[in-house]
Amino acid sequence: MHPLKRILALLCIPVYMLLAFPCQAQSGPPKRVALLIGNWDYDQNGKFDPTPSGDYIADLKNPCSDSDLVKSQLAKFGFEIHDYCNVDQATFNARVADFASSLSDLPKGSIVFLFYSGHGMQYHGHAFTVPVLFRIDHAAFKNNGDLEQFKLLQKNANNVAEMLQKLPDDKNVALVVALDKCRDVPVDEKVTYSEAVSIRTGPNTLIQYATTAGDRTPDNDGKGHSAYALVLADELSKGGDIGDIMAAVGIRVWRLYDSGKRDTYAETNVGPAFSALKFNPLKAGMSAAPRNVAATVSRKRLMVRDRYDGVTLDIFWCEGDGEQARYAFATSLARDIAMRASELGVGRVMVKPLSQDMNNNNGYNVHRNIMRYDQAYPLEREMLFKIASAYPVGNFLPQRGVGVNGQATQNYVSAFVCGRLADGRADVAALEHASGKR
C-alpha cells in the first residue's frame, strides 16, 4: 500500500493547532485564536508555474485558497484569526514567534488553531514546512551525506518541531495542529519518499497530517481546493467539540482512501492532556450535559467474543456522570464489532469498566473517546481507523499507546468510551441506521 521508506518524507501540511502554555491560566471566558499560513508562489514571480523554475520548487495552486476556506469557517465561531499568504523562512519564523508571544496566560478552555498549507518534507525524524523562495541544487544535494542534507534543510526550511517548542504547554488549553499536504516536492528520491517519521506530540496537542508519513496527497481535487481542506472546512462549519471535529475529519479522509478516491489517509496523533480535556466547543461558552440513558450498569468485565483469531480488543467505559450512556454504547459497540469480527480483523473482544480512581490516578486520565494502538504495528493503526470509520458516532480519536512496561504489544488494541456521545441514544445499530450506514 504505502511503503514507509527510509530518509525523507514529504508532508503536505495544513496545520490546525490548539496551543497551550506554562503560565497559569487567566480567569475569564475562553479564547479562540488561529494562525493560518498558505504558501503557493514558490519563486515569487506572481504567477502560477506548473513546472519549477531554476532551483526553486514547483508552485501549488490551492494553499492560500485552502487557508481562506478554513478562515471563513473559523470566523463564524468568533476566532481571532491571523492569516498570511506566501511567507519566506524568516517571515514564517517571525509570524510564529509573534503569534506565540500573544498567547500567554490564556484562560482555561481556550483553543489555539494553526493551519499551514503548502509544500513540506520530512528527514530523519524531522518535519519541515517549505517556505517560498526555498532553493536547492538537486545534483549537489544528492551527492551530500545525510548530515549535510539535514543541515541544508535546517538552514533553509522551517523545522516544525522547533516551531511547536516556541508554544508553551498548558494542559487546560487545546492545541490542534493540522498539516496539509505532501505535494510532490521534487528534491530527491530519498527526500520524496522516506521513513515513517512523526513529530513528538505535546501533552495538550492534537496533530493531524493530511497524509501518512512517506506519502503524498494531490494539490487540487478539481474544485479549487485540496480534498483535505474541503473536508476540514465542512466539519468546522458544523461547530461542536474540536476533538470530535478532528475525529470526523480523519474518518472522512479514511473513507476517501478506503474507497480508492485517495492514495493515503490522514494520520492523527493525540497527546495525553488533550485526551483529558472535556467538551471543548468551537464556539466559546457552549456546554454539553451528560446524556441520560436508561441502562442497568454492570461493573463486571464482559467477555463478548472469546476467540483469538484476530487482534485482541478491550473496550473500556468510564464510570462517573453519564456512565449509563457510556456503558450502553460500549457494550452495544462490542457486540456489533463481534458480529463483524472477520471483516474488521478483530479476535477476542471484552468490555471493561474504568473507575474514576483508576482513570484519574493510575495514568489513564481519559475524558474523550479514543482508540490506542502500538506505533510499531501500522496495520493495527489501520484496523482502528476502519473501526472508527464504521462507527462514526463514537468520534474516536486514534492515540499511540505506550505498550506494557515499555514493550510493544502486538495483536492488542484498546478503545475508551469516556467522552460525550454524539447522540442521545446509545445503541450502535440504531445510531448507524440513523446515519445511513446500514
pLDDT tens, position by position, 361-383: 887 889 999 999 887 888 888 89
CATH of the domain at 369: 3.30.70.2390
Does residue 78 share a domain with residue 115? yes
pLDDT computed for residue 277 by the predictor:
82
Lowest pLDDT segment from 26-30, 246-250, 334-338, 432-436 = 432-436
Give yes or no: residues 166 and 41 share one domain.
yes
Is residue 33 within 8 Å of 195, Cβ to Cβ?
no
The DSSP element (H or E) to which 123 belongs, if any, is strand 120-123
214/360 same-domain check? no
pLDDT at 291: 57
Q: What is the pTM of this model?
A: 0.84
What is the secondary structure of 199-253 as a DSSP string? PPPPTTEEEEESS-TT----S--SSSS-HHHHHHHHHHHT-SBHHHHHHHHHHHH
Are 36 and 83 in contact by the 8 Å Cβ rule? The answer is: yes
Residues 206 and 335 occupy one common structural domain: no
Mean pLDDT of the chain: 82
Q: Are residues 227 and 347 in the same domain?
A: no
Total tally of structural domains belonging to the chain: 2
In this structure, what CATH number is given to the domain that contains residue 220?
A: 3.40.50.1460
- Tell me if 293 is assigned to some domain: no
Same domain, 268 and 309: no
Give helix then strand counts, H and E, for the chain. 14, 16
Owning domain of residue 420: 302-434
Q: Which residues pair with 56 in a beta bridge?
A: 135
pLDDT value of residue 217: 55
**How far from 154 is each of 109, 128, 134, 387, CA to CA, in Å?**
34, 8, 12, 39
Domain boundary residue, one of 276, 311, 336: 276
Do the Cβ atoms of 224 and 255 come closer than 8 Å? no
Q: How many whole angstroms separate alpha carbon 16 and alpha carbon 123?
A: 22
Alpha-carbon distance 129 to 11, whole Å?
Answer: 8
Same domain, 238 and 350: no
Q: In terms of pLDDT, which residue wins out, 294 or 68?
A: 68
> Quick one: 163 and 262 in the same domain?
yes
Q: Is residue 186 part of a domain?
A: yes
Q: Determine the Cα–Cα distance for residues 283 and 297; give it in Å rounded to an integer.
A: 34
Torsions phi, psi of 37, nearest 5?
-135, 130
pLDDT of residue 64: 96
Examine residue 380 and state whether it is found in any structural domain, yes or no: yes
Q: What is the pLDDT of residue 10?
A: 41
Residue 23 maps to a domain: no
In a domain, 317, yes or no: yes
Amino acid 195: pLDDT: 33
